[in-house]
Amino acid sequence: MNKNVPIDLPNFSYDYEKYPPIGIDFGTSNSAIAKWVNTIKHTGTRVYTLNDQVQYLMPSFVYLDSDGEFIAGKGAYNKRIAEPDRVAACVKRKISDQSKCIPLADTFFSPIDITAKIIQAILKSCMDTGLEKPAGIVVSVPYYFTQNQNNNIRTAVNQALQQMPQFSCLSVEQRPKLLGLIPEPVAAALSFSIANMESAMDDCVLLYDMGGGTLDISILQLNISGPDIHFEILATDGDDSFGGEDFDHILEQYVLENSAISFKNLDEKLKRRQKRAYSDRYCICKRRFILCAKNRFVYW
């Protein structure tokens, strides 16, 4: 795969603040959204701070409440222990399936339906902070995704745009358009290249992307020369059912087994309460570990 990517000069007459091209990283565990900025002061990407969470990442969780309303993001994540039968997670791993295979309460939904709710939520969060209408939308996907998986992602994004009240009153021509999908290693290569355009480069680069639920590894030849970026994908491989969530699960099971912690003999109400308390402590430990700058890792 060869790509020559010319970088356009800024168009200062265009309002990139209200109508920016945007990119969505739909992840297994978390999702993020960024806009393209093309001004005198800055040319490149900026990740949106999500207004309801004051952070860059939105958990890729969807919750169906008792009134039949969907809640996506942190609110859904917080319900995963208390009401697990109403929460959908890791939907990206199931995106190849078009059937209604995800149960929420007493109703079944397809991975496309759940993905659309995640896309809607992250778009709405940005529109609450100044985004009026995207000039176009690009979504990143693993390099090894099949045509079926990619088509289902496209369907989910278009479904999200059609169902959003902000756009439903617009004609089809006026609605934001899905410009396309971009392989995640290609997106990473472009981001790295744009950030290093002042430095000439002609190197073989390894891109290693360990996500919450997927693993993507690519090797590419990257050449940066002035405003031109050229890269060739030499090899790629990955696994759409292996990621950080699996490490978390293994560590969690290890701690439970070695601490002789068991929820088997508890009634359902007490079991949920204990699991929620355990999960909260687990998340606190995980955050402290991530934020600790002095951590040292030993590999063997």
DSSP-assigned beta bridge partners for residue 186: none
Classify residue 213 as left (phi > 0), alpha (psi -120 to 50) or beta. alpha
Query: What per-residue confidence (pLDDT) applies to 67?
Result: 92
Per the CB < 8 A criterion, the answer to whether 53 and 32 are in contact is no
Residue 88 CA to residue 109 CA, distance in Å, equals 10
Query: Who has greater pLDDT, 115 or 223?
Result: 115
Per the CB < 8 A criterion, the answer to whether 61 and 89 are in contact is yes
Residue-wise pLDDT tens digits, 28-68: 999 999 887 777 777 777 787 775 656 889 999 999 999 99
Name the CATH superfamily housing domain 2-197. ATPase, nucleotide binding domain (3.30.420.40)
The segment(s) of the chain belonging to CATH 3.30.420.40 are 2-197
Where do the DSSP E strands lie in the chain? 2-6, 21-25, 30-38, 43-47, 58-59, 62-64, 70-72, 87-88, 102-104, 107-109, 136-141, 178-183, 201-210, 215-225, 228-239
Residue 100 CA to residue 116 CA, distance in Å, equals 14
Query: What per-residue confidence (pLDDT) applies to 208?
Result: 85
Per the CB < 8 A criterion, the answer to whether 72 and 118 are in contact is yes
Six-digit token string for 28? 């297994």
Exposure string (b/e) for 14-53, b if CB count within 10 Å is 16 or more?
Answer: eebeebbbbbbbbbbbbbbbbbbbbeeeebebeebebeee
Per the CB < 8 A criterion, the answer to whether 132 and 18 are in contact is yes
- Four-point Cα dihedral 228, 232, 238, 244, nearest 10: -20
Query: What per-residue confidence (pLDDT) applies to 117?
Result: 97
Indicate the SS3 state at residue 223. strand
Residue-wise pLDDT tens digits, 169-227: 878 788 888 999 998 888 888 888 877 777 888 889 898 888 888 888 889 898 888 77
